[in-house]
Amino acid sequence: MINVQEMSESLKLLADKSRLTILALLTEREMCVCDIVHILETTQSNVSQHLKKLKKGGLINETRRRQWVYYSLNLDDKPYLQELLAQLPPMKEKINALRPQSCD
């Protein structure tokens, strides 16, 4: 059972536009850092810091494949966040606009 403190910490993470956008992207599919960097138009260092906070907060999972790390949502135990993310604008167009990256 989730408590108010855990809920508060999760919601604080979403108060940042970049982290909220990352979670919105991950609702569409798992992604590697290079794709997220391209969509957010920022540095890999910046994206990595946001991903580190989201992972520490238990909101995302990471899976290593060769030299790349892929990120996916980890919200099974956070239905309140699933409801929130369902209200965000879809990110399919941004993802579909990605040129083939070297992540694969």
Q: Is the model's pTM score more than 0.85? A: yes
Q: What are phi and psi of 44, to 5 degrees?
A: -65, -35
Whether 51 has a pLDDT exceeding 90, the answer reads yes
CATH topology of domain 4-88: Arc Repressor Mutant, subunit A (1.10.10)
Task: Give the pLDDT score at 97.
Answer: 86
Domain residue ranges in the chain: 4-88
Whether 101 has a pLDDT exceeding 70, the answer reads no
User: Binning pLDDT at 50, 70 and 90, where does residue 33 land?
Assistant: very high
In the predicted model, what is the mean pLDDT of residues 9-15?
Answer: 94
Task: Give the pLDDT score at 87.
Answer: 93
